[in-house]
Structure formats: C-alpha cells, structure tokens
A and B are shown apart, each in its own frame.
Chain A
Amino acid sequence: MLNTFGTRALIKLELTRALRNKKFLFFSVLYPAVLFLIIAGNAGNAKIDGTGLTVATYMMVSMASFGALTAVLMGNSERIAKERESGWVRQLRLTPLPGRGYVLAKTASAAVVSLPSIVVVFLVAAAVKDVRLDAWQWLALTGIIWAGSLVFAALGVAIGYLASGDAVRPITMIVYFGLSILGGLWMPTTTFPRFLQDIAKWLPTHAYAALGRAIEESRAPHTTDIAVLAVYFVLFAGGAAWLYRKDTLKA
C-alpha cells in the first residue's frame, strides 16, 4: 500500500517534469506528426509495394510507432544514466521506495508521454490526409502501438544502466536512428537493397510497425513479428534487470 503510494508520487513528479521539458515534448509529440506530413504530404493514392496500403496509411503507423519509440527511449536512457551519476538513484535508495519503483516510475511517465505522440499522428493523418479506418482499428492501433512501446522502454532502461556520462547520448542516438531507419519507420524496407531487407525483418522496430499494419489491413499479424517482438522484450527487460542489479550492488 505504502510502496504503491510512494511510487505513484514519484510517477506524478516524473510526469510533471517531462511535461515541463519543451524540447522533449516537441521531439516526442510534435516531431513525428511533422515528419509524417513531410513524407506523406504529396503522396497520392498509390499503394506501397507488397501491401494494400496508401503511403499516408502506411506512414501513419510508421510515424506513430516512431513517436512512441522516441518518447520511451530518448527520455529514459539519458535521464537514468545522468541520475545514476548525480547520485539521485542513491538518494532514492535511502528512502522506503522499492528499488523497482524508480524504473517503474520512469517507464510509466514515458508511457504517458508516448500516448499523445501516437494520437497526434493519427489526428493529423485523419484530418490532413483523409486516412479512414474503422473505429475498432483506431482503438486497436492505439492499443498495440502503445503496448508495444514497452519493448523500447525496457531498452531505454537497459541503456541507462549500461552507459554513463558522455557515452549515453551517442549510444542512444545510434540505437534510436539505427532502429528507426533500418526497421523501416522512415521509409518502407521494400525500398532497401536485399541484404538490408534481410537484416530489417529481424529488428524489433520492423516487427513493431508490422503489427500496426496488420490491423490496418484487417488481418491477423504474422506470428514471426509477434515472436520477434516478444524475444526482444525478454532480452531488453532481462538485460535491464540484470544491469540494474549489477548497478545496485556496485553503488
């Protein structure tokens, strides 16, 4: 009871802080929608190769996934690394807050920011590019992209506990752009050379966006995509937990 109360107080404060950070809000909430307009802006009703989706419909899922990825990955990895270094993580260990409460609060506050970043892309796509889907599809899309972002939240926590100081930003950037671009969030992987396509289909971002597209096409998602995402989640969450424990013993 008490512990959840404390964790809730920390989530609230983390959230207040995230909402105060204009730069972070711009890049996670507005930037994906802006990028969507740039990429899909002049596209007509042509279909993307290998799918029955228009560029706008296709890119809507990509950019919503990209926005969620930004919100959960960028904020957490750097904050955690910095707060480990500044000693805030140590200070929290002198309180009754359970050790996991810190990670939980970080993940929860990131999830709260990632939701609007998904919804804003949907709103812009529907209003400006006339993307039309059934009500269940909108809801399922929001749900699946939001839930799937947990995979990358775990990755953000893992990087935060792995890297320190000056290293955390470049590592985060490489992972972030690497996953975004190679996973096909910025452009369909069908435009890639063959060897890159082979790499791309094993990336979590590729599987992540593929789940959303399956909903747009009103079909069941490929089991491979679900399996890929699940394996990455276990990997990232396990890695984060292991690094967290290592850090706790060392500090």
Chain B
Amino acid sequence: MDDMTTTAVPAASTTEVVGFDQVTKTYGTVRAVDGLSLRLHPGETVALLGPNGAGKSTTLDLLLGLKQPDAGTVSVFGTGPREAIVAGRVGAMLQSGGLMDDVTVAELVKLSCSLHPRPYKAADVMARAGIAQIADRKVNKLSGGQAQRVRFALATAGDSDLIILDEPTTGMDVSARQAFWATMREQADQGRTVLFATHYLEEADAIADRVLVLHRGRLLADGTAAEIKARAGARRIAFDLEGAVDAAALRALPFLTGIDVSGQTVRIQSSDADATVHALYGLGLYPRNLEVAGLGLEQAFVAITEAEEAKQSC
C-alpha cells in the first residue's frame, strides 16, 4: 500500500476501470441510486446482485452514460462513460437493448464490428457467441435465448476492456446458460473486467470473484461470495438435544446470528461456527446429530437484505 502513495501518478487513474463517487439518481420521490460509491479494478469479474428494484439497471445505465446522475460523478477508465464507449473500451448488453428488425444475425453482427474501433472478425464473434448456425436467420425470428446470444455477440464485437452484461442468461435453459458462462469466462480470462447483473445467485457464487449486493440503491455488501456468506452468518449449525432445551442459554452463545428451536431440534446461524460449537460443549450440553454446513449465497443474500430492512423499519 505504501508504494502507491509514493508514485507520482495517482493510482486511481491507471488502475481504476470504473469509479462511482457518491452517485445519486432520483425518480420523483424514489431514490433509485442513493449515494453509491464503488470502484472496479482491471481483470475483476464482478456480480451485481440485488432484488428487483434494487437499482441494478439504473446503476448500469449511469455507468454507460445512458442516464446522468443527479449528484456525484461516474468515471470509466478515468473519463466519462460516453468517451470510454467511443474509444471502444466498453462492450455492453442490456436487457432493455433491442435488436434491429428485418436483418439477419450475420448482418447485425457485421454492423457491430464496423462500429467498433478495434473489431474482431464477424465470423469469429458469431462462433464465440455460439450463433454461427443461426447466422442467416432474421433477427426478429429468434427465441429469447438466441436473442440474448446475439446481444452478447454485439457486446463482444471488438477488443473492449470492460464488458457489461445485464441479466445475460434470461430466457436460456440450463445447458445454454452453462455454455454462456463458459464463453464469458473466456472473456474474463483474457484479462477483461466483467460486470454482470444477475438474480441467479448461484451464478454470482460460481462465476464472480467479487459480489456487490445492492439494495434500495445502496451498496449493502462488497466482497467475495465467501465473505458475503460470512457477513450474513456464514454457517448453519443443527443438532438435537435431550431433555428440556434452555433456549435462553443457547441464545447467549458467542457469534450467534440466528436461532430456531423446534422441539428437541435446534438450528443456529453463526459467524464463527468453531467458537459457537466449542461454547456449546462448554455449557455442558451433549448435542446429537451435530451438523455444520455452509450457508448458500442465496440464504446469505436474503439474510443481509432482511437485516437491512429490519434496520430501516425500526
């Protein structure tokens, strides 16, 4: 960290892909994005996670210059979003992005290649996006999943440094989805920064090095999938007790973030399972059928957003 402060050039300008500083966007009385600050760094694969209405789409629109923030600044590669797009540094597919009617897939992909300052060959782009077989089909005759692949092809028509994908696998079946993420991983492996919004939590868990949890336009959590899980009470401990269950004593266990007692069965969420189990034995109890399991990202996500909602309603 120290060497950064001694370099003459500010580190941010050379290593920062995306910078949001206190960005706010309001629609009427609704704050779609509320004082959002975040940084993306080169080569990261980042998932933007959040329930509907969390502000994901607005965040991406601001990032791409489709909307202007009411307050705060958005920079992409140290410039404004539009400048970065014109320089060919950003490739993006949006859910709301339509396609040109009455032209073939190949014609549309060729157009995208012509528009990019550092284009790839249209044939290669189509092969990579898995749409070579439908090259001659009219764009308006495609299935939802095929249209998504065409959008992906448009987003990857040239050598861009940042790829933005908004719910890219919507309308795809499981195998198509897996094939898609394999394609996308190639993009990431070439050193590109990839930012994708998704509501498929297993995708964020499996693919992203970093997960941003957005809720009501604010950043709730920012870390690896493992860290997000840890934040929500990473481990679930379940066991049975014989005799009367002293719920009050159990509630006083260290690192406990949640408890559910039903009959003889106790389920605990803990941010440090080792310490919690150790203390459990310390109480002189003898738990049977002890199970310690990781919490899925989905549950972690629900836990974080619920905790936030509870905080706001107090």
Residues of A near B92 (CB, < 8 A) are: 94
B88 lies within 8 A of chain A by Cβ:
yes
The 8 Å CB contact of A95, one of B66, B101, B115, is B115
In the assembled complex, the Cα of A224 lies from the Cα of B197 at a distance in Å of 58
Residues of A near B101 (CB, < 8 A) are: 17, 82-83, 86, 88
In the assembled complex, the Cα of A180 lies from the Cα of B198 at a distance in Å of 51
Do A87 and B85 touch across chains, with their CB atoms under 8 A apart?
no
A residues 2-22 in Cβ contact with B at 8 Å? 2, 5-6, 9-10, 13, 16-17, 20-21
Residues of B that sit less than 8 Å from A by CB: 64-66, 68, 85-88, 90-94, 96-103, 107-108, 110-112, 114-117, 151, 154-155
The 8 Å CB contact of B103, one of A6, A13, A87, A91, is A13
4 nearest interchain CB pairs?
A: A86-B98, A87-B98, A9-B114, A91-B97
The 8 Å CB contact of B111, one of A2, A10, A96, is A10
Do B99 and A9 touch across chains, with their CB atoms under 8 A apart?
no
The distance from the CB of B105 to the nearest CB of chain A, in whole angstroms, is 12
A93 lies within 8 A of chain B by Cβ:
yes
Do A9 and B111 touch across chains, with their CB atoms under 8 A apart?
yes
Per-residue CB proximity of A95-116 to B under 8 Å, as 1/0?
Answer: 1110000000000000000000
Do A93 and B66 touch across chains, with their CB atoms under 8 A apart?
yes
Chain A, interface residues (CB within 8 Å), range: 20 to 34
Using A13-B100, A88-B99, A94-B85 as known contacts, list a sample of 15 further A-B pairs with CB atoms less than 8 Å apart, ordered by residue number in A: A16-B103, A21-B102, A83-B98, A86-B98, A86-B101, A87-B97, A91-B94, A93-B64, A94-B64, A94-B91, A94-B93, A96-B85, A96-B88, A96-B117, A251-B66
Residues of A that sit less than 8 Å from B by CB: 2, 5-6, 9-10, 13, 16-17, 20-21, 82-83, 85-91, 93-97, 249, 251
Do B114 and A5 touch across chains, with their CB atoms under 8 A apart?
yes
Chain A to chain B contacts (Cβ below 8 Å), 19 pairs: A6-B115, A9-B114, A9-B115, A13-B100, A16-B107, A82-B101, A85-B98, A86-B98, A86-B101, A87-B94, A88-B99, A90-B94, A90-B98, A93-B64, A93-B65, A94-B93, A96-B85, A96-B86, A96-B88
Closest to A84 in B: B98
Do B111 and A13 touch across chains, with their CB atoms under 8 A apart?
yes
A10, A16, A85, A93, most chain B CB atoms within 10 A: A93
A5, A82, A86, A251, most chain B CB atoms within 10 A: A86
Residues of A near B91 (CB, < 8 A) are: 94
Residues of A near B87 (CB, < 8 A) are: 96
Task: Given the known inter-chain contacts A10-B111, A16-B107, A251-B66, please indicate yes or no for A91 contacting B99, CB distance below 8 A.
Answer: yes
Chain A interface helix/strand/loop/mixed? helix
In the assembled complex, the Cα of A106 lies from the Cα of B112 at a distance in Å of 17
Closest to A21 in B: B102
Residues of B near A82 (CB, < 8 A) are: 101
In the assembled complex, the Cα of A251 lies from the Cα of B64 at a distance in Å of 12
The 8 Å CB contact of B66, one of A9, A86, A90, is A90
In the assembled complex, the Cα of A16 lies from the Cα of B103 at a distance in Å of 8
Residues of A near B65 (CB, < 8 A) are: 93
Residues of A near B108 (CB, < 8 A) are: 13
In the assembled complex, the Cα of A121 lies from the Cα of B161 at a distance in Å of 53
In the assembled complex, the Cα of A90 lies from the Cα of B96 at a distance in Å of 8
The distance from the CB of B96 to the nearest CB of chain A, in whole angstroms, is 5
The distance from the CB of B168 to the nearest CB of chain A, in whole angstroms, is 14
In the assembled complex, the Cα of A95 lies from the Cα of B160 at a distance in Å of 11
Residues of A near B151 (CB, < 8 A) are: 91
Do A83 and B100 touch across chains, with their CB atoms under 8 A apart?
yes
Residues of A near B90 (CB, < 8 A) are: 94
Residues of B near A85 (CB, < 8 A) are: 98
Task: Given the known inter-chain contacts A2-B117, A86-B99, A97-B115, please indicate yes or no for A91 contacting B154, CB distance below 8 A.
Answer: yes
The 8 Å CB contact of B100, one of A20, A88, A94, is A88
In the assembled complex, the Cα of A6 lies from the Cα of B117 at a distance in Å of 9
The distance from the CB of A135 to the nearest CB of chain B, in whole angstroms, is 39
The distance from the CB of B199 to the nearest CB of chain A, in whole angstroms, is 19
Do A87 and B96 touch across chains, with their CB atoms under 8 A apart?
yes
In the assembled complex, the Cα of A94 lies from the Cα of B93 at a distance in Å of 8
In the assembled complex, the Cα of A89 lies from the Cα of B97 at a distance in Å of 8
The distance from the CB of B40 to the nearest CB of chain A, in whole angstroms, is 17
Residues of B near A249 (CB, < 8 A) are: 68
The distance from the CB of A183 to the nearest CB of chain B, in whole angstroms, is 31
Residues of B near A10 (CB, < 8 A) are: 111, 114-115
The distance from the CB of A151 to the nearest CB of chain B, in whole angstroms, is 27
Do A95 and B107 touch across chains, with their CB atoms under 8 A apart?
no
Do B103 and A95 touch across chains, with their CB atoms under 8 A apart?
no
Do A95 and B98 touch across chains, with their CB atoms under 8 A apart?
no
The distance from the CB of B189 to the nearest CB of chain A, in whole angstroms, is 23
The distance from the CB of A205 to the nearest CB of chain B, in whole angstroms, is 29
Do B102 and A95 touch across chains, with their CB atoms under 8 A apart?
no
Closest to A6 in B: B115
In the assembled complex, the Cα of A89 lies from the Cα of B100 at a distance in Å of 9
